[in-house]
A and B are shown apart, each in its own frame.
Chain A
Amino acid sequence: MYTEKRETKKRLLTYANAISEAHVQTMRNDPDCFIMGLGVTDYKGIFGTTISAFKRFGPKRVIETPASENALTGITIGASLTGKRPVLIHARNDFMFLALDQMINGASKWKYMYGGKSSVSFVIRGIIGKGWGQGPTHSQSIQSVFMHFPGLYIAMPSTPYDAKGFIVSSLSENVPCVIIEHRRLYDTFGDVPKKIYKSKFGKARVIKKGSDITLVATSIMAMEGVKAYIALKKMGISLEVIDPRSLRPLDKDTILRSVRKTGRLIVADTSWTTCGFSSEVAALASGETFKYLKSPIKRIGVADCPSPVSFKLEEKFYPTYKDIFIECCKMLNKTPDLGLIADPIIDSFKGPY
C-alpha cells in the first residue's frame, strides 16, 4: 500500500493512455517506427490508443490497412528487415489466428533458420476481449499459442506502467514481440512516469509479498490476485502475488524463489489451463522445487469450453478473486470465511468493445 505522500507524487494515467503515450514517444524518438492495423486511424483509434499518434504523425506513419492479417504480418516482417520498426495492432487477439503462418512459420524462426544473420523486429499488439457476450471468437486469450514456439517474446502487461514500458522495450529488441493486452484493464489507472522507460522482458514483478502461498497470475488475473490478497489477509493468510509480465522469456528465478519460500503454488491465467501458461509454470515448479512443495500445485483458468455468450454462462466461465480465495483456503485446510467474498460481482462493462 502506498502512503498519502507517495500518492501525490504519482502521475496517474489509464492503461489506454499509457499505451498511447508509448506510441507517441517511441515514434518521436525513432523515425523508422510506424503503426499499422485495421482502425488505427479510426476516430476511436483502437480504444483510444492510436489517436494521439495519428494526430501527431499522420497517415504516413499511422497506417490504415485492409482486413488482411496474415499478409500484414508478412509485410511487417519485410519492413523490419530493411530497418523499419513496425507496430501491428489487432483490436482482438483472436484475429491473430489469421496471421499465425507469418508469425510462427516466419517471424518466430527467422533468425534461427537463416543462421543468425538476419532478424525480425516487430511489435504486435493484440487485445483480449471479455464480457458483454462477445462470445466464442472475440474473447479468447491466446498467449500460450505464442509461448509454445521458441523465437517470440511475449508480454502481458497488467498495469499502465507495463502497458507503456513493454511497447518501449519491444521496439528496442531485435526480436519479434507480441504484447497481449486486456481490454478490461484499459480504464484502470496507475503510476506512469512521463519519461520514456522500458519494462524488462524476462523480469517478473512481485506485487504483494507473502509467506504462505505463491500466486503467479497473468494480466487481469494479477489484479484479481491483489483482491484475493486483501481478503485472505483478513483470514490471516499471507499470499505472495507475482505478475510474470513477460511470458517468454519467463522469469523463472523469481517464481521459483517464491515457491521455495512458501512451499505452495497457485497459477491463475486468463485462458484455459490445458497446455496453457499455468501448465508451464506448474511443470517448472514441480521440476525445480519438488522437495519444497507442501501441497499439490493448483491452476485456475477459464472453464474448459469455448467462451459462451449468455451472461449467466459468462459468470460461470470466468474465474475471479473468489476462486483464488477459496483455492488458497483449501490449500491450507482452512474453512473459507465466505463473508469476506460475499460482495456480488457486478459486471458493469458495456463496451465499446
Chain B
Amino acid sequence: MAAKNIDTVKKTLLREMLRIRMIEERIAEIYPRGEIRTPAHFSIGQEAVSVGVCAALGKDDWVFNSHRCHAGYLARGGSLSSMMAELFGRSTGVCGGKSGSAHLASPKINMYSAPILGALIPVGVGVGFSFAMDGKKNIAVVFFGDAAFEEGVCAESINFAVLKKVPVLFVCENNFFSSHTHIKYRQPAIPIYKRVKSYGIEALRVDGMDVMEVYKASARLVKKIRDGSGPLFMECTTYRFLEHVGPNFDFNNPYRTEKEVRMWMRRCPIARLRRRLLKDNTVTEKELESMAEKISLEIDGSLDYARKSPWPEDEDLLKDVY
C-alpha cells in the first residue's frame, strides 16, 4: 500500500475502520436477542490498531490475535459472512461453530486468535522463526493486550525472538485494563515499550487512536523487519469504549469514570480521521454517506446469510478431533 497515493490510503483506512465499527455496532445491537451465543469482546474504540497495522502487511504475512479479535479478523480481510455465521453458531461459520467469537481463525488468510492470555505470542514467534529458516521475507505479527504482556510466555517469547533475530512484530494494544483492573495495579509505572527496549531492540509507543500514526509506524517497522532487523515492538495506547466482554457501555461501574470514557470517545479514531479528511476535502459528506450505506447493505447480507445457514449436524461434534 505504501506506493499508493496517500489520500487513497487515508480513505481506505477510514473505510476499513468505519466498516469494523458498523459491523460491531450491529452485532452489539442484536446481541441481546440471543441469536449470538458466545462471549464477545468488542473492539469498538480500538479499530485503528488492527487497521493501521494490517494495512502495512502483505498477504503472506501471518497475524495472531487475542480474544478481542473481531477487528483483527476483519482488518486482515476475513470474510464477514463467515464470521457472522460463526457468531451465530452455524455450520457455515469460519470454524464451523467451533471457535465462536474469541477463537476466530481463518487459515486461508493466515490469521488465528485465542483467548488464553499470551497463548499465541510464541506461536507467532514460531511462524517468524520458520520464515527465517527458509530465508523468506514474510513476517509474523502478534497482537496482544497489556495484560497478556504479564504472562511469562510473553517474556520468554521476546527473549527467544531477540536471540534468534526472528522476523516478528509484537503489537501490544494497551487499553490500560485487564478486564476491570487498571494497569497501575498490575505493572510497574515504567511504560511497557521502555521495558522492552532493554532487550536492545527498537520498541516504541504510538497513539493507537490515530490510524495514520499506527499505519506509518507499522509500514516502517515491517520494512525494517523484512530487511533483517529481527523482532520489533510497538505499543499502541488505545481504549475500549464498551464493557470488557459484551455489547454494552459500562459507564456506571466503579473501575472507570464516565468522564474518562467520554474523554477517550472524543478521541475516536474514526471521527478524528473523518474530520480531517472532510476538512481538507479528501472526502465529501456524500461519499461518506454512500460508503456507510454500502457497508450497511453488506452487513444486512451477512446477517441474512448467517440466519439462513444450517446448524452443524450432530456428527460434526466429533469431526476434526484428529
A residues whose Cβ falls under 8 Å from a Cβ of B: 38-39, 41-44, 64-71, 94-95, 97-98, 132-138, 303-306, 308-313, 316-317, 350-351, 353
Structural contact, B186 and A70, CB atoms closer than 8 A: no
Known: A135-B98, A303-B317, A306-B321. A312 touches B115 (CB 8 A): no
* Contacting residues of chain B (171-195) with chain A, CB-CB under 8 angstroms: 178-181, 185-187
On chain B, the number of residues with a Cβ less than 8 Å from chain A's Cβ atoms is: 47
In whole angstroms, what is the CA distance A220 to B112 when docked? 33
Structural contact, A305 and B180, CB atoms closer than 8 A: no
B89 smallest CB distance to A (angstroms): 3
Known: A64-B185, A95-B116, A132-B38. A353 touches B245 (CB 8 A): yes
Structural contact, B317 and A313, CB atoms closer than 8 A: yes
In whole angstroms, what is the CA distance A97 to B185 when docked? 24
12 CB-based A-B contacts, threshold 8 Å: A38-B181, A39-B179, A66-B178, A67-B151, A132-B37, A134-B100, A135-B102, A310-B93, A310-B96, A312-B89, A316-B317, A351-B39
A138 smallest CB distance to B (angstroms): 7
Q: Closest chain A residue to B314 by CB distance?
A: A316
Whether, in the assembled complex, B148 has its beta carbon less than 8 Å from a beta carbon of chain A, the answer is yes
Structural contact, A42 and B312, CB atoms closer than 8 A: no
| Residue among A94, A306, A311 making CB contact with B89, cutoff 8 Å | A311
- B101: chain A residues at CB < 8 Å are 133
Interface of A is mostly: loop
- B114: chain A residues at CB < 8 Å are 137
In whole angstroms, what is the CA distance A351 to B101 when docked? 15
Q: Closest chain B residue to A59 by CB distance?
A: B185
Known: A42-B179, A67-B178, A135-B98. A312 touches B38 (CB 8 A): no
A37 smallest CB distance to B (angstroms): 11
In whole angstroms, what is the CA distance A155 to B63 when docked? 40
Interface flags for B72-111 (1: CB within 8 Å of A; 0: not) read 0000000000000010011001001111111100000000
Structural contact, A309 and B179, CB atoms closer than 8 A: no
- A43: chain B residues at CB < 8 Å are 180, 253-255
Whether, in the assembled complex, B200 has its beta carbon less than 8 Å from a beta carbon of chain A, the answer is no
Structural contact, A42 and B255, CB atoms closer than 8 A: yes
Q: Which 4 pairs from chain A and chain B are nearest by CB?
A: A310-B97, A310-B89, A133-B38, A309-B100
Q: Closest chain A residue to B253 by CB distance?
A: A43
Whether, in the assembled complex, B34 has its beta carbon less than 8 Å from a beta carbon of chain A, the answer is yes
In whole angstroms, what is the CA distance A136 to B118 when docked? 16
Whether, in the assembled complex, B18 has its beta carbon less than 8 Å from a beta carbon of chain A, the answer is no
A284 smallest CB distance to B (angstroms): 28
Structural contact, B39 and A313, CB atoms closer than 8 A: no
Structural contact, A135 and B38, CB atoms closer than 8 A: yes
* Contacting residues of chain B (227-250) with chain A, CB-CB under 8 angstroms: 245-246
B320 smallest CB distance to A (angstroms): 8
A137-B114, A305-B317 given. 11 additional CB < 8 A pairs? A65-B186, A69-B151, A132-B37, A133-B38, A135-B98, A135-B99, A135-B103, A304-B318, A305-B321, A311-B89, A316-B314
Q: Closest chain A residue to B89 by CB distance?
A: A310
A342 smallest CB distance to B (angstroms): 19
Which of B115, B147, B148, B255 has the largest number of chain A CB atoms within 10 A? B115
Whether, in the assembled complex, B316 has its beta carbon less than 8 Å from a beta carbon of chain A, the answer is yes
In whole angstroms, what is the CA distance A133 to B36 when docked? 9
Structural contact, B255 and A67, CB atoms closer than 8 A: no
Structural contact, A98 and B116, CB atoms closer than 8 A: yes
- B60: chain A residues at CB < 8 Å are none
- A350: chain B residues at CB < 8 Å are 34
| Residue among B38, B150, B312, B317 making CB contact with A67, cutoff 8 Å | B150
In whole angstroms, what is the CA distance A310 to B309 when docked? 13
- B245: chain A residues at CB < 8 Å are 351, 353
In whole angstroms, what is the CA distance A70 to B152 when docked? 8
A319 smallest CB distance to B (angstroms): 13
A262 smallest CB distance to B (angstroms): 32
Structural contact, A133 and B151, CB atoms closer than 8 A: no
- B152: chain A residues at CB < 8 Å are 68, 70-71, 98
Q: Closest chain A residue to B321 by CB distance?
A: A305
Whether, in the assembled complex, B311 has its beta carbon less than 8 Å from a beta carbon of chain A, the answer is yes
A76 smallest CB distance to B (angstroms): 15
Whether, in the assembled complex, B117 has its beta carbon less than 8 Å from a beta carbon of chain A, the answer is yes
Structural contact, B37 and A38, CB atoms closer than 8 A: no
Structural contact, B148 and A67, CB atoms closer than 8 A: yes
| Residue among B180, B186, B253 making CB contact with A66, cutoff 8 Å | B186
Which of B90, B98, B151 has the largest number of chain A CB atoms within 10 A? B98
Structural contact, A67 and B90, CB atoms closer than 8 A: no
Q: Closest chain B residue to A131 by CB distance?
A: B37
A131 smallest CB distance to B (angstroms): 8
In whole angstroms, what is the CA distance A43 to B243 when docked? 13
Structural contact, B100 and A304, CB atoms closer than 8 A: no
Structural contact, A137 and B98, CB atoms closer than 8 A: no
Structural contact, B181 and A42, CB atoms closer than 8 A: yes
Structural contact, B89 and A309, CB atoms closer than 8 A: yes
Q: Closest chain B residue to A43 by CB distance?
A: B254
In whole angstroms, what is the CA distance A43 to B321 when docked? 39
A302 smallest CB distance to B (angstroms): 10
- A71: chain B residues at CB < 8 Å are 152
- A316: chain B residues at CB < 8 Å are 314, 317
In whole angstroms, what is the CA distance A309 to B317 when docked? 10
- B185: chain A residues at CB < 8 Å are 41, 64
Structural contact, B187 and A312, CB atoms closer than 8 A: no
Which of B37, B117, B187 has the largest number of chain A CB atoms within 10 A? B37
B192 smallest CB distance to A (angstroms): 12
B210 smallest CB distance to A (angstroms): 27
- B99: chain A residues at CB < 8 Å are 135-136, 309
